């Protein structure tokens, strides 16, 4: 997925999961002595504006961001996962 106004380039780094990418999520990672310098952060959509997620990632030293939709956010009714919904068949 491509986001407008993102920089071109290639980065290489380890991936660190940062939940919704809120300031509190990043502070929790920092409190656990996990450094984000030169890391790529994996962040769920939702919670806050996606631009703020990228801003927070940059503020804490990450070199890249991968935003993803968590399947659990798209389960309807008795569906086990979103892959069983009619518009994805």
Q: Return the percentage of the chain with pLDDT > 90, whole number.
A: 64
Percent over 70 (pLDDT), the chain:
76
Q: pTM of the entire structure?
A: 0.79
Q: C-alpha distances in angstroms, 77 versus 40, 55, 89?
A: 34, 35, 16
| pLDDT surpassing 90 at residue 63 | yes
Contacts of 66 (CB under 8 A, 6+ apart): 15, 40, 41, 42, 43
Per-residue model confidence as pLDDT tens digits over 16-54 = 999 999 999 999 999 999 999 999 999 999 999 999 999
- Say which residue, 62 or 87, is predicted with more confidence: 62
User: Is-contact 56 23, C-beta < 8 A?
Assistant: yes
What does the alpha-carbon distance between residue 70 and residue 18 come to, in Å, rounded to a whole number? 13
Average pLDDT of the chain, as a whole number: 85
Cα torsion for 72, 41, 33, 13, to the nearest 10°?
A: 130
> Please, are residues 78 and 84 in contact by the beta-carbon 8 Å criterion?
no
């Amino acid at each position: 997925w491509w986001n407008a106004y993102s920089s071109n380039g290639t980065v290489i780094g380890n991936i660190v999961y940062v939940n919704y990418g809120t300031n509190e999520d990043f502070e929790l990672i920092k409190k656990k002595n996990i450094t984000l310098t030169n890391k790529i952060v994996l962040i769920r959509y939702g919670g806050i504006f996606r631009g703020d997620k990228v801003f927070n990632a940059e503020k804490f030293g990450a070199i890249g961001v991968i935003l993803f939709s968590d399947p659990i956010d798209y389960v309807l009714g008795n569906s086990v996962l979103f892959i069983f919904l009619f518009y994805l068949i």
